Structure 1
Amino acid sequence: MKRLSMYSAAIVALVSLSACGGSGSDDNTLTAWAWNINIPVLEEAAEQFKADNPDFELEIIEVGTPDVYQRITTGLQANGEGLPDIMLVEDDRVQGYLSNFQDSFLDISEYGFGEDHHDKFPSFKTELLSVDDGVYGFPFDAGPAGVFYRTDLFEEAGIDPDQIETWDDFIEAGHTLRDELDVALTGIDISNDDGVYRMILNQQGTFYFDENEEIALASEESIKAMEIIQRLHQDGLNENLVGWDAWLTGLANGSVATAPTGAWLTGSLTEQAPDLEGQWGVMPLPAMEEGGNRASNLGGSNYMISSRTDNPELAYEFMEYFSTSDDVQLTAMENGLFPSLNTIYDNEIFTSPVGYFGDQAIWELFAGMMDDIPAVNYTGNYSIARDETETAQSNAANGADVTEVMTSAEQQLQNRMN
C-alpha cells in the first residue's frame, strides 16, 4: 500500500539482522518486521497481550518496502537464517513466497487457526494463505475498493452518483465533468500503475492469472478491463498523474474529481486535504454491466511466522490474539487500516457517519463488500506480470489495439516465465 508514514517515532529495536528470529535468548521475547502505520498497532497489541503475559516483550524492527522483501527473500534463501519471528507480508507477495519457500513458514493450522477462526475472515483472504491442507499466515488488513469522488464537483456538474451503475455510466459522467467544469475524472499513472485495471479484473473474478494459474492477460475479461482504461485516456477524461505525490495533489486541488481505489485512501485524503472536509463521498466501483459485481480489492497484508522461530507457541498465541482481537483491529482502523476481521463489523464505528465524507457511513459500505470480493491467484510471477501489464496499459492508452496489446503482453510474460 502506498501510504505516507506518520509514525517516525515508532519503537525500533536496535538489533542486527543476525540477531532476529530463533537466535534470541529470551524465551518471552519475539521480534517482528513491519513498517509505518502498522507499527503502532503492533505496539498496542503487545501492551494488551502483556496484561495476561507480563513477561512478554515484542521487539519491532521498522523495515520499509521494498527493502523488507529483499531482506525476507535473502533470509528465505538462507533457510530462514536472519529472519524475525514475525513478518508483515502484503497480499501480492504471499503466494510467491509460499510457492518457493512453503516450509520456511509456520503452518498455523497445526495450532488450530483454520478450524477456530477461518469463518471470521473473508474467503479471498483465507484462500490466499492456504496451501493444500495448511494455513501459513494470519489475515490482517484489506483494501475493499470504491470510487472516492468530490461531491461538490459532481453537484456543480449535475451528476447524480446514485445513477452511476456501470463503467459506461462512469465514463459518461466523466464527459459531463470535462464539458461542464474542465475537470478530469481520473488521475491514473498510465505507465506506472495498473491499479484500476487490476480492480476491474478482480471484480470480474479473474486476474493476471486464472484459477488454474494460467496466464489470462488476453482473456475476454482482461481485454474489457483494458478497454476501459483506454477509453478514459483516449477520451481526455484521465489526467496522467505520475507518482503518489502528484496523484494526491491532483485530488486535493480539484483537478481530478474521483479516485477508484482501496479503502486505505481515506487516511491520506484526510491528512493531505483537511480543508475538503464534507466535500468527498464514496460509491461502489461501477459494474461491467447492470447488476454485475461491484466488489473488488486493492491492497492488504498478512502476518506470517518463520518456521525457524525458537518459540512457535508464543508466536502463534500472540498473533492469534493480534488477528482475532476486536480491540486490536479497531486500533488498526483508527490508524488508517481496514481490518478483515468480520467480528468487528457490527461495531458502531461501522455505522457511524464520517464527517469528512459528508456524514456518509463509508465503513459500512466497505464492510458490506468483503464477502463478495473474488479470490485472486497472484502466483509467484505477480511482479513480472504487473510489469508487462503496465507496458500494455501505456500502449493501449496511446491508442494501440487492445486485443493485440494484451495478446502481446501475454506472450511476453510467457517468454519471461520460461
Structure 2
Amino acid sequence: MIKSRRILKLINCFILIVILTSCSNMNTSSSKSKKLTGKLTILTDKRYEPILKLAANNFEKENKKVNIEIKTDDNLYNDLESNIKAKDKSIDIVSVEDPYIKYYISKYMNSFLNVSSDISYYSSNIIKHQLNNVTIKNKVYGFPWSTSPRVIIYRKDIFKRENINVDDIKTWDDYIVLGQKVTYDTGKQFLTNVKDIDNNMYLVFANQLGTSYFNSDDKLDLDSSISIKAADMLKKLYSENILFDLKSRKESVQSILNGNSVSMIADSQYISYIERNFPGYKGKLGIMKLPAFEPGGNRDVSVGGSNLLINNLGKNVDLAKEFCKFCISDDHTIIDSMKNYGYFPVFFRDYNLVEFNKNDSYFNQNIWQILGRTEKGSFPINYTQNFINIRQECSEALSSDNLKDKQAKDILDSLKKSLEEGKTIENR
C-alpha cells in the first residue's frame, strides 16, 4: 500500500514537472506543435537585416520545411508605398519603424492583416504604448517587435580623473556644470549626439517630459509649456557648448573611444556594436540614465522602435503569423539578438530572464537591466499619421545655430504657425 502511494506521488510529480516545463517553454511556439511548411519573403532595411536573419535561421531550425528570404531596401518606405498600390503579393512581412507606422496602417489599413486575435495571447507582456502604435479603432495591424530606450555612455576613466561620481548627477543642470569643468580641464567635447532624423534631441527631451510633436489629442504640442521647456534645455546645452552634433553613429563611437568626447547619447545598438568591435576598451566605459530636468524628475526615455506587418494579400499568411510570434517572444532569439546586434525587445516578460539581468563584464554593469527599467519607465510617444511630415521640419528649426541665435519659444511658435498654415499636420 505504502509502495503504491509512493509510486502515485512520483507519477503526480512527473506530471507536474511536464506541465510546468511546457508552460515555461510556451513562446509563440504554436510553431513547435504545428508542422509548418512554405516560404516567406520579408522586406526590411539594412539596420534590421542581421536581426531578422538570426530569427529566420532559428525558426528554420525548428521548422525544417520552412524557407525564409530576407530582402533589404535602402528606399524602403517609398518602395513600400509603391508595392502596396501595385497590390504586390510577393512580400509576406515588412518591418516598419514607429514614426511611419500610423501613416501606413491608417492610409493602407486593408493592405495589412488584422492580427488582433493572434496577438491577444502576448499583449499582457508587451510594452503597452508599443502595442498602441499598431492599433487603430481597437484593431491591431502588426506585431510590435523592437524598441529603443536611450541612455548615456560615458568614459569611466575620464570621469574618475575628473573626480566625477555619476551618482551625484541628478539633473541636466548638474551635467552642464560638470561638462563646463571637464571641457575647461581637458578641451574635450562633453556630450555628443548623432544629428539625424532618428536621434532628434528635442524629441528625446520632449519624451522625457511626457510629450512629443503631438499631444494625446493628435494636436500639435509645440507651444505647450512642456515643449518650450524641452527646447529651452536644448538651447542651453548648445549655448553652453555642452552638446555637439555628429554626423553618424560611427563618428560618435570613434569620438568617445579616441577621447575626443567624454559622453554620448546612445541606445542598445551602440552598446552591442562597441562590445563586439572594440574589446580593448573593456572597463573604460559606463552607462547611466539621462539626467532629469529637476531633482527627482523622470530619467527614462525611449524613442523609436520597429514593428512587423503582414501583407494581407500574401500567400502564406498563417506561416507569417507564426514567424512574427516567434520573433517577438522566443527567448533564445531575443537574447542572441540583444547581445549580437543590440536589438531591444518589447516583450517585457524576457526582462526577467537570468541572461537579461546578468552583469556585463565589458561595462561591469547590468546594462540590459538598466535599459529594461528605462523602457518600462518611459512615456509613450504619439506617432500620429502625420508624424513623418513634420519631424524633419522640427529638426531643422531646432538646430544648434537657430537655438543659439533665437529664443526657443519664438522658434516653436513660428514653426507651429508655418506647419498649420501649410496644412502639413492636417488631421486625416
What range describes the TM-score normalised by the shorter chain of this pair?
A: 0.7 to 0.9
CA distance 1:397–1:126, shift in 2 (3 Å): same
- Equivalent position amino acid for 1:350 in 2: F
- Counterparts of 1:8-23 in structure 2, within 5 Å, are none
Q: Deviations over 1:232-281 (max 9, x none)?
A: 11112233423444323322211211112322211233355443221111
Is residue 69 of structure 1 aligned with residue 64 of structure 2?
A: no
Where do residues 18-97 of structure 1 align in structure 2 (5 Å cutoff)? 28-36=38-46, 38-50=48-60, 53-64=63-74, 67-78=75-86, 80-81=87-88, 84-97=91-104
Q: How does 1:77-226 map to 2 (within 5 A)?
A: 77-78=85-86, 80-81=87-88, 84-109=91-116, 111-113=117-119, 115-188=120-193, 195-226=200-231
**CA contact 2:302–2:374 (8 Å) conserved in 1:** no
CA distance in 1, matches of 2:354, 2:46: 27
Paired AA for residue 54 in structure 1: K
* Letter paired with 2:315: D
Tell me which amino acid in the other structure corresponds to 2:268: A
Please say if 1:285 is aligned against 2:290.
Answer: yes
Native 8 Å contact 2:142 2:309 kept in 1: yes
Matched, 1:328 2:336: no
C-alpha RMSD over aligned residues: 2.2
| Contact residue 151 and residue 289 of structure 2 kept, 8 A | yes
1:63 counterpart letter in structure 2: D
**TM-score (norm: length of structure 1):** 0.86
Q: In 2, Cα distance between the equivalents of 1:88 and 1:383?
A: 16
Q: CA deviation at 1:289?
A: 1.5
Amino acid at match of 2:73: V
Change (3 A) 1:361 1:151: same
Which shows bigger deviation, 170-179 or 33-42? 33-42
- Distance in 1, matches of 2:361 and 2:416, equals 45
Alpha-carbon distance, 1:308 to partner: 0.9
Q: State the distance in 2 between where 1:167 and 1:226 align.
A: 13
2:5 counterpart residue number:
none
Where 2:55 maps in the other structure, the secondary structure is helix
- Distance across 1 between alignment mates of 2:301 and 2:287: 14
Give the % identical residues. 27
Q: Deviations over 1:194-239 (max 9, x none)?
A: 5222111112111011111111122212211111121111112233
SS of equivalent residue, structure 2 residue 395: helix
1:343 to 341, 344, 349: 349
Tell me the distance in 2 between the aligned counterparts of 1:234 and 1:83.
51
The 5-angstrom pairing of residues 208-287 of structure 1 reads: 208-271=213-276, 273-287=278-292
Q: CA deviation at 1:134?
A: 0.9
User: Is the CA contact 2:272–2:339 (under 8 Å) kept in the aligned structure 1?
Assistant: no
Q: Deviations over 1:137-161 (max 9, x none)?
A: 1121211111111111111112111
Kindly provide the amino acid, as one letter, of the partner of residue 59 in structure 1.
Answer: E
- 1:295 aligns to what? 300
Structure 2 residue ranges without an equivalent (≥5): 1-35
Say which SS state the counterpart of residue 217 (structure 1) adopts: coil
Contact 2:89 2:314 in 1 (8 A): no
Q: 2:359 aligns with which of 343, 346, 353?
A: 353
Letter aligned with residue 80 of structure 2: I
> Rg larger in 1 or in 2?
2
- Would the aligned equivalents of 1:129 and 1:137 in 2 still touch at CA under 8 Å? yes
Normalised TM-score (structure 2): 0.84
Residue 382, structure 1, aligned to residue 361, structure 2: no
Helix, strand or coil at the partner of 1:218 = coil
Is the CA contact 1:261–1:298 (under 8 Å) kept in the aligned structure 2? no
Q: How does 1:392-407 map to 2 (within 5 A)?
A: 392-394=397-399, 395-407=401-413
Q: Which moved more, 1:205-214 or 1:245-254?
A: 245-254
Unaligned 5+ runs, structure 1: 1-25
Provide the rounded CA distance (Å) in 2 between the counterparts of 1:191 and 1:315.
32
Q: Aligned in 2, Cα 1:284/1:191: closer, same or farther, shift over 3 Å?
A: closer
> Partners in 2 of 1:334 and 1:167 — Cα distance?
30
TM-superposed CA distance for 1:408, in Å, is 0.9
Q: Is the contact made by 2:153 and 2:286 (CA closer than 8 Å) also made in structure 1?
A: yes
Q: 1:37 to 1:237 in 2, by over 3 A?
A: closer
* Bigger mean CA deviation after superposition, 369-378 or 263-272: 263-272
In the alignment, the residues of structure 1 paired with residue 194 and residue 340 of structure 2 have an alpha-carbon distance, to the nearest angstrom, of 27
In structure 2, the CA distance between the partners of 1:259 and 1:52, relative to structure 1 (3 Å rule), is: closer
Q: Distance in 2 between matches of 1:313 and 1:376?
A: 31
Measure, in 2, the Cα distance between the counterparts of 1:210 and 1:251.
35
Q: Distance in 2 between matches of 1:52 and 1:392?
A: 50
1:412 aligned residue: 418
